[in-house]
Structure formats: C-alpha cells, structure tokens
Amino acid sequence: MARRDDFITQINQGYQMKGESIVLGAAMLDGEPIKEAFVKIPLKTINRHGLIAGATGTGKTKSLQVFAENLSDNGIPVLLMDVKGDLSGIAKPGTENEHITKRHAQIGLSYEPKGFPVEILSLSEQKGVRLRATVSEFGPTLLSRILDLTDVQTGIVAIVFQYCDDEKLPLLDLDDFKKVLQYATNDGKEEFEEKYGRISTASTGSILRKIVELEQQGGDLFFGEKSFEVNDLVRIDEKGRGVISILRLTDIQDQPKLFSTFMLQLLAEIYNSIPEIGDAERPELVIFIDEAHLVFENATKTLLDQIESIIKLIRSKGIGIYFVTQNPKDIPSDVLSQLGIKIQHALRAFTANDRKGIKLAAQNYPISDFYEVDQELTRLGTGEALVTVLNEKGMPTPLARTLLRAPMSRMDVLTDKELDGLVSSSKLVSKYNEAINRESAYEILNKKIANTPTEKSSRGKTKNSKSGMDPLIKVVTSATFVRGVFGILNKMMKK
C-alpha cells in the first residue's frame, strides 16, 4: 500500500499544473490504471516539441488524434501530416461503446463524442486545398540544398536568381528555372558571360538532372502559383476552436525528396512569417509529422543540419513540432535531444536487434522507481504508453505508464461523399485551387529568343557598359544574394 501511495503522490505532484493543460489519461501501476491520477501536458511547454512512437497497431495514431482534438478544444490550430490517410475522421463525432465507457471510467473522465473543424490540404491532385510555393520564394540557398548541389552548382543557381532579378523575370515554377538554366549556356551564353562570367554547360546539365529527379517525385505540382499563405494554418473557428489542417500525403510515401522539400520550405516559411513570442503561455501552432522517418531517411547531411536548426529555433515562435514514428531511433540523435515531450507506445522484440533497440530506446526516458523501462516497453497494451513531458518550469515530469483516453472524434476515415462535402465547403478552395499560369521567365525568354536578331542589334554593348560594375560585385550586392545568404535559413543559423 505504501508503494501505491508513494506512486500516486509522485504522479499528482509531478503533473500538478497551475496553468492550462491537456489530460492524456491516467497513470498505471502494476498494470492497473489509477483513477484521477491524471497525466497532463501543460500548454506552456507544448512548443518544446515531442515524439509519439510505437510499433504498428499499438495506438500511436489514436494518441495523435487525442492530442490534436484537445489542442483544438483549447483554441490552438493544428497541422497534421497524414501519410497513411487515416486522420480525416477527426471532422466527425466518434461513437461511444462499452469499451470506451469502461476505459474512461477507469481514467476518471467523462466521454463526449464530437467532431472538430477540419481543413483538408493536398500537395498533389488529391481532393483538398492545394499547397504551392514559387521557385523564387525558395531562394537560391534552400533550393540548392534541396537539390544537394555542389558549391560550384550553388553559385550558378545564385547567378540564375540574380539574372531573373535584373531582368524582372518571374521565377515561378520549375519550367521557368530550367528555361533560364538552358538559356544561360545556349542562346543567352554571350549575355551571361558578359555580366556574370562563363557558366559551365556540364554544371548546368547536372543541375537540370537534379531538377528532373525532383519533377519525377511530383515537384512540378508543388512549384507554382498561387502560393499558400502560412496565416491560413493558424485559424480559429467561430466557436473558438483551433482549425485542424490535415495535409493528405498518401500519394507521396515513395517520394521522399518531395516530402523533405515541402517540409523544409514550410517550416522555413512559418519561421519567417510568424513573429517571435518567446516564453508564451500557449503555442500558436502545433505540427504533427506522421511517418517521420520519411523526412530523415533520404535527407543529406546539409538538410539534416537545417532541420536541426529549425527545431531549435522555431519554438520561440510558439510552434511545436511532433514526430510520429515506429521507433525513436528513426529520429537523428541531434533532433531527438530537442524533443521534450515523449509518448512511447509498445515496441516489439522479435529479434536480438529488436531487443538491443529496446534497451537503447529505454535510455531516452527518465529513471523510475516504479518501472523497469525496457521491460515496460514490451508489455504495454494497445492504447497504453509511457509518457514524460516538461512541466511548467521546463523540467521532465515523472515517467508514467498511462492508460490513454479515447478520441472524441471518429476513429476511421471519412467516406468519399463526406470528404467531397468537407472540401466543397472550404473557404480556401476558391482561394488556392485555381491554377495560375501568368507570363513568367519561360514565356518571356522564349519571346526573347524568337526576337534574337533584333535584340542583338539594338542592345550591342550598351546595356553592359552602362552599369560599369564588376560581375562579382554585382552579384554580392544584389537582392538575390541578400535573400540567399541572409534569408530565412541563414538568419536562423546565425542565432
């Protein structure tokens, strides 16, 4: 009895919050839940990022669902990266059954079925609000890093952006970018050499091949207009609930470069667009990245460094990022060390490597007087998890095996008819889904090439001698250079 009393005291003291918080469930001892020994997350530390991990079928998606629902109820917008396509049911109320009633009685919470305000987003031609960004918005630095270019190739990309700035050529989609690259070593070769020096055909060829690779993964659908505005992710509905934006990614599971491209651009744009709020009482936006291994498994070291920098710095904007994956080892150690909130579902030990991995995973959690963590990791039932969060002072709470509450919304996907209705009622569809193909670099250069004889005779050397500026000086003092070097990512790296 003394052990049980000590445990209850530790949980109640460790999870006592002065400010607003979210109840995840009830703590468990010796496999039994203890009623009203609530395991909670304070809103104040949700921007300190987190991890939801566990083997397939252990309940991590439902934990994500519970987390997102309660954030919405507290007026906090949410962005869900839905790779498996199983989260759209959040828009509709759940159904109470005997199992849910019993679970909530054990926890000491009432159950209220309800749906939540949902916006369906898409990177491709799936149903939903289309997310796009222009090549120009990426800037030369981020675009080069995504394409994994060499220093020489990165310099060429910077020159291409500079040329487009000088000539007032809109750089919107990948066709625009490819056209300028081709022009630089063909019809516009002399023009480029006079302004910026000789550009290697071999280098532009290598860059073009990298672009084609990105296009083959769907990048041609992502780049273009109209650009999605970050402020449309941080909306509150008429009832004061945070809007849950669900980005459907079921068709890009085998396109990791497109997924990484989108993630980096989105996080960089969020960082750049949302003002600093410092140590706020609640987050501005919480992002859940399901199947998070897709972000990391094919990323270059440069991209991993950028992700780590963003994770470190974006929390000052009031943004919390949560990675959802099967095993903590899917997350690079430098990123994992930045995650203050951990919800760990069961891991399976089928092989010697599995058992070794479980012992390593156990080291990510606080030492407990009540649990052998490596053993608990294999004993957790469906809907149970080991939980540790950061309290309002930023200190880790006691580790708690937790019986998690059930989602209030539907634990299944919407029907096609329901999905159609949700998308058609969206206020953002009309704003973003009309394809815009205004005149840009591709069309302008084609016209210029068609008029080459007239252009050459009228231009001569006048345009270049007029500036009288050394090409190198011209590049480093340009708007492109400033955007590329002192832009979003590099500003973050210098902090």
| pLDDT score at 14 | 93
Q: What's the pLDDT score for residue 216?
A: 82
**With 70 as the cut, is the pLDDT of residue 137 above it?**
yes
Question: What is residue 409's predicted lDDT score, i.e. its pLDDT?
Answer: 97
The DSSP element (H or E) to which 405 belongs, if any, is none
Query: Residue 258 carries which DSSP code?
Result: H
In this structure, are residues 290 and 64 in contact, taking their beta carbons and an 8 Å threshold?
yes
What pLDDT does residue 157 have? Answer: 95
Asked whether 315 and 335 are in contact (CB, 8 A), the reply is no
pLDDT at 466: 34
Whole-number pLDDT of residue 476: 44
pLDDT of residue 453: 64
Say what the pLDDT of residue 455 is.
45
Mean pLDDT of the chain: 86
Residue 451's contacts (CB-CB under 8 Å, 6 or more residues apart) are none
**Would you state the pLDDT for residue 490?**
47
Task: Report residue 259's pLDDT band, with 50, 70 and 90 as the boundaries.
Answer: confident
Least confident of 234-243, 256-265, 424-433, 460-469: 460-469
Q: Which residue has the higher pLDDT, 294 or 286?
A: 286
pLDDT in tens, 347-360: 987 788 888 888 88
Helix (H, G, I), strand (E, B) or coil at 270: helix
pLDDT in tens, 460-495: 433 333 334 444 444 444 444 444 444 444 445 445
Say how many Å lie between the first and final Cα of the chain, rounded. 52
Lowest mean pLDDT among 77-81, 100-104, 439-443: 439-443
Mean pLDDT over 415-426 rounds to 93
pLDDT score of 381: 92
Whole-prediction pTM: 0.84
Helix and strand numbers, DSSP H then E, in the chain: 23, 12
The confidence score (pLDDT) of residue 116 equals 97
* Mean pLDDT to the nearest integer, 10-17: 93
> What's the whole-number mean pLDDT along residues 331-345?
91
Q: Render pLDDT for 59-84 as a digit per residue (tens, 0 to 9).
A: 999 999 999 999 999 999 999 999 88
SS3 state at 344 = strand
- 159 and 165 Cβ atoms separated by less than 8 Å: no
Note whether 183 and 160 are within 8 A (CB): no
Nearest-angstrom CA–CA distance, 426 and 430: 8
Question: Quick one: average pLDDT of 45-70?
Answer: 94
Confidence grade of residue 457 (pLDDT, cut at 50, 70, 90): very low
- Give the domain ranges of the chain: 2-117+230-409, 135-223+434-494
Q: Which two tokens stand for residue 246?
A: 């669900």
pLDDT on residue 50? 95
Q: Which CATH class is domain 2-117+230-409?
A: alpha beta
Indicate the residue type of 325.
T
Higher pLDDT, 441 or 435: 441
